[in-house]
Structures are given as structure tokens and as C-alpha cells.
Amino acid sequence: MLTVYGRATSSNVQLVMWTLAELGLDCERLDYGHVHGGLDTPEFGAMNPHRKVPVLRDGDLVIWESTAILRYLASRYGDGGAFWPADPALRAPVDMWAEWAKTTLAAGFTHPIFWPRVRTPAADRDEARLAAAITAFDGRLARLADQLDAQPYICGDTFTAADIVAGHLLYRWFTIDIPRAANPTVEAYYDRLTRRPTYQTHVMVPYDALRVEGA
């Protein structure tokens, strides 16, 4: 039995749950973190010393960090095809774009944009800093658009793990109340993702519970 520890409203948990769904894997998800608590227990600390979600348990094996979980699941339970190729040379482009999406795209959105806009009261918000972060993120999305030019997915004609790491951010990007530069290529890409039942179920999760009063 695969068990995921983490709340459905966590973006990183959504990455893992979407991966599981794309691979056709069943799991039990347990609510941990935010209003659910549980991160400070000795049992959770024994699984993840950083006390963050998500955590995956597969039998006696415990893995934390969302993209590490993705790579494990794809390597162990995938078929070695385009989603996460078995050939290292073919896998490298997927892995590069997945890594960029985590270290650059997500890093430029979650804490600099989503948290100030949703998790911070307007009275405490640095509007100039938020505006600068939005402009910078628009620039990162322009790079993603260049990669998506003339192809439906990040690494070509087929959906891959890179699309999960980048694509799970876009629901929040396109639904929070902020100004966004027009980007028809990424908008069309997002539209393709929203047609996937797995995306609808595990990523298009309302985040009203995360919004603080006055945000």
C-alpha cells in the first residue's frame, strides 16, 4: 500500500498525487499539515526530519521531497516510456525541465507571489515586491512558452514528468487575483492540462482554506 502524508491543498502534495494518478497507482492520502497538524509528532519526525509534507511510504521505504517522490514512483512503477524514459540520454531532457520547473519556476511563484497574495494580509503586503515578482515570473513563463512553441508538451508530443512539475503551478497562477502578461502559448498549454481528469481531481483544488483574513 502506498501512503501519502499531506493535505490536499498543498501544492507539493498535489504534484505527488497527480503523479500517482498519471501512473495509475492507488494510494491512501492522510491529511497532515496546516490546520490538520501532525507534523510535530515524533512519528512524523521519524519519517521526515524537516517536518514538511509530502511524505510517501511504500512498504518500509519512506521518501520525502515531492520531486524525489516523483522520480521514485516513475522509476519503480512507470513503464520506462516517454513519461520517464529508462534510457538516461532520453530521460535527461525530461529531468532537466523538471528540475528547472522546481528550482526556478516554482521558486519564483510560491513564496514570492502566492504567499504574499493569499497568505498575507493586504495591510502587511509589500506591493512593490509582489509586482516585481510577478514581472519576473512572467519572464520565466516566456521561457516556458519558447519551449512549448509548436509542441503540445514541454518535451515534445507526449506528456512527461516535466509537465507535472511545471503544470501543477499553473492552476494557482491563473486563478489568483493578480495582473498577468498575456502568454497565449502557456494559456493554451494550461487549457490542455485542465482537460486531463487527473489534473482536475488533484490539482484544481480550491485554496480558500489557505487564504488569511484581509488577504
Q: Please say if the pLDDT value at position 195 is more than 90.
A: yes
| Calpha distance 95→83 (Å, rounded) | 10
**Cβ atoms of residues 145 and 183 within 8 Å:** yes
User: How much is the average pLDDT of 63-82?
Assistant: 98
What type of residue sits at position 5? Answer: Y
User: How much is the average pLDDT of 187-214?
Assistant: 97
- Burial (Cβ within 10 Å: 0-12, 13-18, ≥19) of residue 50: exposed
Give all strands of the β-sheet with 61-64 in edge-to-edge order: 28-30, 2-5, 55-58, 61-64
pLDDT given for residue 93 in this prediction: 98
CATH of 2-77, one of 3.30.200.20, 1.25.10.10, 3.40.605.10, 3.40.30.10: 3.40.30.10
Beta strands in 59-108 (DSSP E): 61-64
Comma-separated ranges of CATH 3.40.30.10 domains in the chain: 2-77
With H, G, I as helix, E, B as strand and everything else as coil, classify residue 212: coil
pLDDT given for residue 1 in this prediction: 87
- Looking at the domain that runs over 88-200, which CATH code has it been given? 1.20.1050.10
